[in-house]
Amino acid sequence: MATGRGPSVSGVRTLDIEHLEIPGAICVYLVDGPEPVLVDPGPTPALPKLKEELAALGLPLREVRHLLLTHVHLDHAGAAGHIAQAVPEITIHVHEDGAPHIADPERLVRSTRRTFGEAHDRLWGEVLPVPPSRIRGWRPGDGRPIPRILPLPTPGHIAHHLAFESERHGVLFAGDSLGIILGPGVPTHPPTPPPSVDLDAWERTLVETLAPVEVDYFGVTHFGLHADLHGRRAELHARLVELASRVRTALEREDKEDGVRYHEEVVRALSKHLPEGRAAEYFGVFPAETDWGGMRFFLDRNPEWRSRGAEGART
């Protein structure tokens, strides 16, 4: 049964910010060095825990110099504005297409409210804008914004998703691009909430962009460091195709309850690999039914979508 954070890598710390007091749900990565780096600071309500974790390592938040955002969803980037306000010297690195959403998060917050409804404020708290002068927007061709950290465009979960390869540590910080893996040996779950999922782009990310990447470990936000990048990217690809097929069949049958069944099935399946109650807690915050709905949203707009297959993917 998976209970730990996965492997340990010298120079990279996995910080469990215990969002809503749920362990193993959201982690933040600290990359040690003369200019410390945080990867995806998490949501605003978990910021006190992030500060506590950093302080336990002897690193006050005010000494962090770079914030890398894989994308702007609030479980990854919600606290960025608060951190920018508290740390005047910090630079926030994000895809250029995501930069407007952290400079003016109003539209992003409206979209998130539509997904999470009345639970929004409890889950994500206040979202502050990041001053544009503190944002460094990355675009393809820009190279490395920080020495030996290479951004890789990894769209699919959202169009402007980035992964960051730390060449010095042999770690790929993958955000959500490699799915949800809640512990060592736990099956991969496809995170497909509406409205931005793009299966064509995600397939290219998994089958083409990540195919030549050679790292010892990769880190996902939900949760921790893992080995076997290529096995896991093939697994996620298969899960995405399976979910698309399932949702398409349900739509053809006008089955309005399949999203609820999918959620229940996911919780049961992952509960076999996690401490008692952990899967239910996690999917209480991030319902698998929402992922079902995101896949429906995509297929409603792309009814003819079919997978191009996994040719070229190494397992």
| pLDDT tens digits for range 188-242 | 999 999 999 999 999 999 999 999 999 999 999 999 999 999 999 999 999 999 9
Look at residues 65, 229, 69, 64 and name the one whose alpha carbon lies nearest to residue 164: 69
Least confident of 18-27, 116-125, 205-214: 116-125
Asked if residue 306 belongs to a domain, the reply is no
Q: Average pLDDT of 251-267?
A: 97
* pLDDT of residue 111 exceeding 60: yes
Half-sphere exposure (CA, 13 Å, Cβ side) for 212? 3
> How far apart are alpha carbons 209 and 205 in whole angstroms?
5
Query: What average pLDDT does this structure show over 154-166?
Result: 98
The DSSP string of 294-312 is HHHHHHHH-TT------TT
Is residue 6 one of the residues assigned to a domain? no
Q: E strands, 141-203, where?
A: 149-153, 162-166, 171-175
When computed from its CA atoms, the radius of gyration of the chain, rounded to whole angstroms, is 18
pTM over 0.85: yes
Residue 313's pLDDT is what?
A: 40
Instruction: Give the residue numbers spanning the domain of 263.
Output: 12-301
Q: Is residue 312 part of a domain?
A: no
Number of structural domains found in the chain: 1
pLDDT score of 314: 38
143 contact partners, CB below 8 Å, separation of at least 6: 150
Give CA–CA dist 299/121, Å, rounded: 29
Residue 192 lies in a domain: yes
Q: Does a structural domain hold residue 155? A: yes
What mean pLDDT is predicted for residues 66-90? 97
The answer to whether residue 310 scores a pLDDT higher than 80 is: no
User: With pLDDT > 90 as the criterion, what percentage of the chain qualifies?
Assistant: 90
Can you give the CATH number for the domain in which 117 is found?
Answer: 3.60.15.10
| C-beta separation of 73 from 48 below 8 A | no
93: in domain: yes
